[in-house]
A and B are shown apart, each in its own frame.
Chain A
Amino acid sequence: MMQPTPSALYRLAQVLRVLAILALVFLVLFLATVAFSAVELGEGIAKQSGSLHHSVAAAIVGTDIVVNVTFPVPNQGYYNVQGLTLAAIFSNQTIQSGPLAVTTGGPTNIPGHGHGNLSLLTSFDMANPAGPFLLLHDAEIQGVLWLNASYAVIVPVNLEVAFNYHWGAPFANLSYTIGTPVPQKNETVAIPVTIHFENHTPGLALAGNLAVVVTNPNGTLCTRQTFPVETHEGPVTLKETFYAGESCSISGDTIASVFTSPGPPPIDISLPTETIP
């Protein structure tokens, strides 16, 4: 028996029905793989989170202390993480009303079944009013981090994380211990000075010169000595002898230090002054 020839309308409806079913099946499968991949990505990041502290580097750039945290982001899922960007603000209301530092990172693309490294650059400007405090004192700083990324092309993800950040001061516990001045034959006095500080900034190598300046209360320069400093994390103790004119009383004078390095990048950081008791 002859099969009737389908009309154009019937064939069009049939094509549309098949298309609708195919689109639905494709979308459901796509969504399932996206969900599975996202779980794989999350598990990979959770496994790697322990290595966060092994990839911290810091440098002084001008008047900024720049902390660079790099951490690997493994992507075990099928889909790419695209345009991964981060931003963070650090603040501590007791130190300074405004933000202490800002962080930027990315954009980074991490291919599916691949690895990417995310670098977070945080600049603490020592020229800020809070600078002198942060140079000498460790502090607990509150941070808020925002992450934006696009997963599997069509899923925008935003992450907001509130966290506490332990700031390690590069010249923590800076102290000057002045010994008894010893008069010299050439109308000068030799002053034994012990300078002590601790570099608590993770990953920060201090390599440069510490210029120590002693001025009397009326502003006259008594002496200026420069010492090379090269240290990574840890305590630094400099035992030096200063020579000053006999007119300098030392007691009541002001002692100040400037840490400099020709670079690159050039460094010029003034440390807070102290009055010699």
Chain B
Amino acid sequence: MSVGQAAPAGPPSPTPAPGAPRYVRYQPPGVSGARIAGAVSLTLLYFGLVGILPYYLEQYAAKYGLSAPIEPDFLLVAGGIVAILAGLSVASKPTRGWGPVRVMSAGFDLIYIFYLLQNPVYATTIHGFTITLTYSRILELFLIPPAIGLLAGIVTSIGDIRHPWERIQLQFPPKRWVPASGGYGQPI
């Protein structure tokens, strides 16, 4: 299922046997709210954490001779991809595409951090002082959240395949139920 597309109403229910309980069917939420949340997340993340702010911090530090080993343009592009994938992840939450998008998002985060780990040394010279800061240990620690997120994405994807409506139904409690002839949903 493509990201941002609303999950269809629950699966067709079999015709109830005479005397069997009647059911209501779960109506999945719309994706417009999730799209707005995704866009807000993307913007906040890009401007505040992974894109614009680090870019300007690096530009500001460069004025004082503090040059980081990462190209500012690379920060903008890679930070943009991180933010877009994170925004997509938020936007796709009410869909069955959430698990795979989370896997992609966490996977890219891991690749990005592994790339930064190739040159984890920050060296600068101020008034004859050369300061070298090795931040590989910090970056290694920052591998933990996306690694767990990747696992969560995989488990979510498997869960969404094996129990197609369970997560969405639990994460987005029903605002309304559609009467169904039975088989799936909640017994009345």
Chain A residues close to B by CB (< 8 Å): 1-2, 4, 6-7, 9-10, 12-13, 16-17, 19-21, 23-24, 27, 31, 154-163
Contact = CB atoms under 8 A, between A and B. Distances in A.
B116 interface: no
Contact of B138 (A24, A155, A157): A155
A13 B152 contact: yes
Interface residues of B, number: 32
Contacts of A159: 129-132
23 contacts: A1-B186, A2-B186, A2-B187, A4-B186, A6-B166, A7-B163, A7-B166, A9-B162, A13-B152, A13-B155, A17-B156, A23-B144, A23-B148, A27-B141, A31-B138, A154-B137, A155-B133, A155-B135, A158-B131, A158-B134, A159-B130, A159-B132, A161-B128
A161 B130 contact: yes
Contact of B170 (A1, A6, A21): A6
A160 B123 CA distance: 10
A24 B133 CA distance: 22
Contact of A20 (B129, B137, B145, B186): B145
A21 B102 CA distance: 13
Given A155-B137, A158-B134, A159-B129, A10 B158 contact: no
A4 B128 contact: no
A155 B163 contact: no
Interface in B37-89: none
Contacts of A12: 155, 159
B6 interface: no
A155 B131 CA distance: 13
B159 A20 contact: no
Given A17-B152, A20-B149, A9 B135 contact: no
The winner among B134, B146, B187 for most chain A CB atoms within 10 A is B134
Contact of A9 (B24, B128, B137, B159): B159
A27 B135 contact: no
A48 B152 CA distance: 50
B152 A16 contact: yes
Contacts of A163: 128
A269 B186 CA distance: 99
Contacts of B149: 16-17, 20
Contacts of A154: 137-138, 141
A157 B156 CA distance: 41
Given A6-B170, A13-B159, A154-B138, A20 B148 contact: yes
